[in-house]
Amino acid sequence: MISEPTEAYVWVWLPGCAEPVVAGLLEANGPIAEFTYGTSYRARPDAISLWPDELPLESGRQRPPRGMHVAGVIADAGPDAWAKRVIEARRPSGAGTNLGLLTYLLESGTDRIGALDFQTDAGSYQPRWNQAALDDMVSAVERLDAGEPLPAELNEALLHGSSIGGARPKVLLNDGDRKLIAKMSSSTDTYPMVKAEAIAMELARRAGLNVAPVEVTTSMGHDILVVERFDRGPGGDRRLMLSANTILGVDRVGASVGSYYALADVIRARFTDATETLRELFGRIVFNICVSNTDDHAHNHAAFWDGQMLTLTPAYDICPQRRPNGPTNQALEIAKNGYRTARLAGCIDAAGDYLLERHDASDIVGHQVQIIRDEWDAAADVCQLSQGERNLLRGFVLNPDIFEPA
């Protein structure tokens, strides 16, 4: 039987710093992971709270919020469904997959999203990753998807991408100074999801939203969506990120899922440039409805945290979904009356929650609808859609029901 680790040191890249420092110790107490800031860290003049709502910069052990197994800021830096599969595949045959949180944190790669990392040692930082060619990593993903064993070198290369979230296959790439995420198609896809996300992101950019830069390529006969990372700065700087789950204080596996209007309330109080940020958030809600992205849960929204204020990150993971004709719901409530139906009129009715006049909200809606109609073909060219893919995915966007009254 393989023993589970009981503690992990949490390292952090402080704002503007190219090297990490130890922030504290994460200790397993049964199913709960408790965190203690290091005395030397708290004494630093540039020390920041990892997130004051959960882990204020104080002495002593701190338990996660009620009902959660670990603080959200820690969970945000941990591996998700796909990455857990990678880690579980590395275990000896018959070892099982019921692994503890600290195992996932310590066995995942260190080039993870945001500015946290986890180590067994507080004395020196040791990165865990191994770069490989994209073709090799695509081959490794194929074999893992099929349940086949991986050669040692591919196993190590795939580990590099095991530190990032999401349910779908992906790996991390370095292209000179650029840090990239390569998102791959899967054998279980029922439509071209890579191309669907690509054209949605391209149309969002054309509509004026702040989105992560993307491009489409191919490898080993698979479509690949290459996403430029926005959590990395020049010279090795990493930016601390919090998901909207963490900002709103909700557990992503719990019953409470948060809401757009609750996030809007936080934006007014704690974000930089609140008025423009609310306009951007409203634009993202509208765009998700226009392209049938109903997977807009709180973990697919995030903000940078500099120890003082929050700043909305570029948008990511905008992927059209198959949906029936007739009404459907967004993952998050849009208005304070609980409205979440994917209809544009309901967004306009909620304009005041986002500090927008009704005519401004109508202009945003009209602009986005026009961009999608006018620039679909040009965006499809950029994203290398075949004629068949254009015909299929065009039916995903601007569903007739979104134009119905709220």
Position 82 scores a pLDDT of 77
Position 313 scores a pLDDT of 98
- Mean pLDDT of the region 290-297: 96
* pLDDT tens digits for range 75-89: 999 988 777 888 887
- Higher pLDDT, residue 152 or 206: 206
Distance CA 363, CA 383 (A): 27
- Provide the residue type at 388 as one letter: G
Task: Tell me which of 135-149, 205-219, 223-237, 347-361 is least confident.
Answer: 135-149
Distance CA 72, CA 247 (A): 8
- What is the crossing angle of helices 274-290 and 260-270, to 10°? 160
- Mean pLDDT of the region 160-170: 69
Position 157 scores a pLDDT of 65
Position 143 scores a pLDDT of 82
Residue 144 binned pLDDT confidence (cut-offs 50, 70, 90): confident
The count of residues in the chain is 406
Closest by alpha carbon to 297, among 360, 361, 351, 250? 250
- Mean pLDDT of the region 148-162: 69
Position 252 scores a pLDDT of 64
The H-assigned helical ranges of 53-165 are 72-76, 81-89, 101-107, 134-145, 152-159
Distance CA 244, CA 249 (A): 8
- What CATH number does domain 240-403 carry, 3.40.1640.10, 3.30.300.30, 3.40.50.12780, 1.10.1070.20? 1.10.1070.20
For residue 356 the two structure tokens come to 């927008």
Distance CA 217, CA 240 (A): 29
Distance CA 69, CA 33 (A): 6
For residue 216 the two structure tokens come to 């489409």
Contact by Cβ (8 Å): 51, 241: no
Residue 396 binned pLDDT confidence (cut-offs 50, 70, 90): very high
| DSSP bridge pairs for 226 | 182, 215
Distance CA 56, CA 48 (A): 9
Task: Tell me which of 180-194, 211-225, 242-256, 330-344 is least confident.
Answer: 242-256
**Strand ordering across the sheet containing 116-119:** 32-37, 21-29, 7-12, 116-119
Give percent above pLDDT 90 in the chain.
70
Q: What is the mean pLDDT of the chain?
A: 91
- Mean pLDDT of the region 106-110: 89
CA dist 273 to 204, 246, 279, 311, 368, Å? 21, 20, 10, 8, 23
| Structural domain spans, the chain | 7-119, 134-228, 240-403
**Strand ordering across the sheet containing 222-228:** 170-175, 178-184, 222-228, 214-219
Residue 94 binned pLDDT confidence (cut-offs 50, 70, 90): very low
For residue 1, pLDDT over 50 is answered with no
Residue 286 binned pLDDT confidence (cut-offs 50, 70, 90): very high
Do 240-403 and 134-228 fall under one CATH topology? no
* pLDDT tens digits for range 49-70: 999 999 999 999 999 998 899 9
The DSSP code for 323 is -
User: If one looks up domain 134-228 in CATH, what number appears?
Assistant: 3.30.200.120
Task: Tell me which of 154-168, 330-344, 381-395 is least confident.
Answer: 154-168
